[in-house]
Amino acid sequence: MKKNSKKILCGLLSAGLVMGSFTACSGGGTNETKAPAGTQAADNSGSASKTSFVMGDTTFNAENEEADVNPHNTYAGWACIRYGVGETLFKYSDNMEIEPWVAKSFENVNETTWKITLNDNVTFSNGKKVRWRSCKEVFRTFNGSSRACSW
């Protein structure tokens, strides 16, 4: 008798798990679809569409005091490149020589001036083309960082 009750209980639990998995995978009966993050979602009321932005957690490698991907905070610049989250104008080659990466070429014009030409086909993760204005904004951020200015 005890053996039969265990089989019945096991069968009921299995059936419950199967039914639970079916209900967990159902869409809830709505026909709405969500627009991907950063895109415009259609508004069914006929009015202008709204822009939707969903932001996730940007913390990576927090155990090493790198709470964000800003390369001017702590040593996140190194991790930003190592984890493939960001790219720089230049990088080190396998021979530890500086070579262009986002930049196409560079030239040291004089003691305080560098001429850097950007690659035409480089875009940010959102698809926007990398422009000089964006590069200049990085230097503005650099100047506002007490840690970065100490170098």
Residue 117: inside a domain: yes
Residue 72: inside a domain: no
For residue 39, CA distances in Å to 5, 50, 52 come to 55, 9, 6
Residue 11: inside a domain: no
| Number of domain units in the chain | 1
Helix H or strand E encompassing 104: strand 103-110
Domain assignment of residue 138, given as a range: 102-151
Best-predicted range by mean pLDDT (37-46, 64-73, 138-147): 138-147
* pLDDT classification of 36: cutoffs 50, 70, 90: very low
Residue 135: inside a domain: yes
User: Count of CB atoms within 10 A of residue 103's CB?
Assistant: 19
* pLDDT classification of 137: cutoffs 50, 70, 90: confident
- How far is residue 25's CA from residue 23's CA, in Å, rounded to a whole number? 5
Instruction: Mention every residue, 6+ apart, whose C-beta is less than 8 A from residue 123.
Output: 129, 130
Residue 2: inside a domain: no
Q: Could you report the per-residue pLDDT of 89-131, keeping only the tens digit for each?
A: 888 888 988 889 889 999 999 998 989 999 988 888 788 898 8
Q: Could you report the per-residue pLDDT of 56-89, keeping only the tens digit for each?
A: 555 556 566 666 666 666 666 666 776 667 778 8
pLDDT of residue 29: 52
Residue 139: inside a domain: yes
Residue 136: inside a domain: yes
- How far is residue 100's CA from residue 116's CA, in Å, rounded to a whole number? 9
pLDDT of residue 67: 66
Residue 34: inside a domain: no
